[in-house]
Structure 1
Amino acid sequence: MLTLYLLRSTNRVAIAVGAVVALAFGWIPLAAGIGLELSDAVTMLRFAAIGLVIGLAFVLDDPAAVTTATLPTPRHVLVALRVAPAAVLATVVWTVAWLGCRLALDAESRALLPYGGLLLELLALLALTFWLAGTRWGDETVRGGVLAAPALVLLLIAAALLPDAAAVFPSPGTDRWDGSRWVWAAVLATGLAGLAWTGREPAPRSRPAQSSSAASRERIRS
């Protein structure tokens, strides 16, 4: 029952749009008969990952969050039940997009198109986005995805403006490629740690202490 509720309450439209965008970046060049260079294929896959992650930024949004907060199910379980299927879906959809870009390359370049290194970027962005989306922003009525999606875009713009010596989106085979994988691994670890932190149970709100006069009146009534 809980799993079915989580499925029904998930923003499936945003997820579907993100998946369509990712698949479009992966397969339109091949469908249009456009041959890609290796750098072009990598760029297309990065845009596919960004579109997919933005669509999945709304996975943790729950329109009945106030009600589900009273359920006996721990918060971290609710978060995991939403995040885990989303991560699997993202991996599958992006892999299909990767296959489309790979087929659009010439035979010599296909073997040079990295899979694991680019998948690491996707998973790191996904973990970071889930962390932002799962963070309580003080107002329970504010959906985390609405804030996480633009925040992710701003972070990506800032990352794209980094100098070449600190680039996080280098082309495969360049001197910066291997070093940037460590950066993405650190982003992934940070995002997962932040996501685990957001899954903690909220501290119970303490009732305000009664004044001495109010306490005296309570004793008299009793």
Structure 2
Amino acid sequence: MTRISGQLLGPLIRAVDWTPVAAVASVSVGLALATTPGSPVEPDNAAITLRMAGVLLGAAAGFALVDTASATTMVVPVPRWLRQWLRLLLVAAPIAAVWAGTFLILSVRLAEGAELAAPGLATEAIVCLLTGLACTAFVVRQRPERLAAVIGAAVLLGLAVITLPWFEAVWPYPGSPRWDKVHQVWLAVLPVPLVGLFLAHREVSR
């Protein structure tokens, strides 16, 4: 299996649509540089920027799961779950690097004496990434085309918008007394998209 995975990496890297990830990466870095231009960045503003980046990156990541050649690759002795998990891992690495770079830029620009709660913000970003991937993965089972990624991205963006009225209960500001409690919930939610991915990456019956 390891040998097969290694042989698949090259073709999958070429097959993945990297354009949405590259576009969102530019937007994320741009947001980090544009946050309170010419002034130190406060933790609240930095958290908002990082959350926007996390949601956008999660929405873009799903495009890597679109396998338009799935109908023909079914005859290849490579299980679907392996191809899809490799696609996920391929896109997760640059997504993590972009988010970390965005975090680093904001950390350097942070107001003197201020700190960012990295573990909590990283947990949010991971949940957003996995949720975006899971949403697309389920749609891809039925429609292995680019539209599946658009639908998956729309679902994630919709979930983010729906939670805005409960900002303090879902997206608390750094320093909020509810910070730790809210992020315990984020950690508890983390297995849900993972289970969804395991289910969605199964073979598709024809």
The two structures have a TM-score, normalised by structure 1, of: 0.82
Answer yes or no: is the 8 Å Cα contact 2:66–2:149 preserved in 1: yes
Give a deviation string over 1:51-98, Cα, whole Å, max 9, x none. 222221211011212112222111111111111122222221111111
- 1:89 is matched with 94
Give a deviation string over 1:144-193, Cα, whole Å, max 9, x none. 211101111110111112264xx110012212211211222233210011
User: Which of structures 1 and 2 has the larger relative contact order (alpha carbons within 8 angstroms, sep 6+)?
Assistant: 2
Task: State the percentage of identical aligned residues.
Answer: 29
Residue 29 of structure 1, CA deviation? 3.6
Q: Which consecutive unaligned segments of at least 5 residues does structure 2 have?
A: 1-6
Alignment: residue pair count: 199
- 1:9 is matched with 15
When you count helix as a share of all residues, which structure comes out higher? 2
- 1:202 is matched with 204
CA distance in 1, matches of 2:42, 2:146: 43
Q: Over aligned residue pairs, what C-alpha RMSD do you find?
A: 1.9
Q: Which consecutive unaligned segments of at least 5 residues does structure 1 have?
A: 206-222
Pick closer, same or farther for the CA change 1:82–1:141 going to 2, 3 Å.
closer
The ranges of structure 1 where at least 4 consecutive aligned residues each deviate by more than 6 angstroms after the TM superposition are: none
Residue 100 of structure 1, CA deviation? 0.9
CA distance in 2, matches of 1:63, 1:140: 5
Residue 116 of structure 1, CA deviation? 1.5
The two structures have a TM-score, normalised by structure 2, of: 0.88
Residue 5 of structure 1, CA deviation? 1.7
Q: Which moved more, 1:11-20 or 1:45-54?
A: 45-54
Residue 141 of structure 1, CA deviation? 4.7
Q: Which moved more, 1:84-93 or 1:9-18?
A: 84-93
CA distance in 2, matches of 1:139, 1:150: 15
Pick closer, same or farther for the CA change 1:94–1:140 going to 2, 3 Å.
closer
Larger Rg: 1
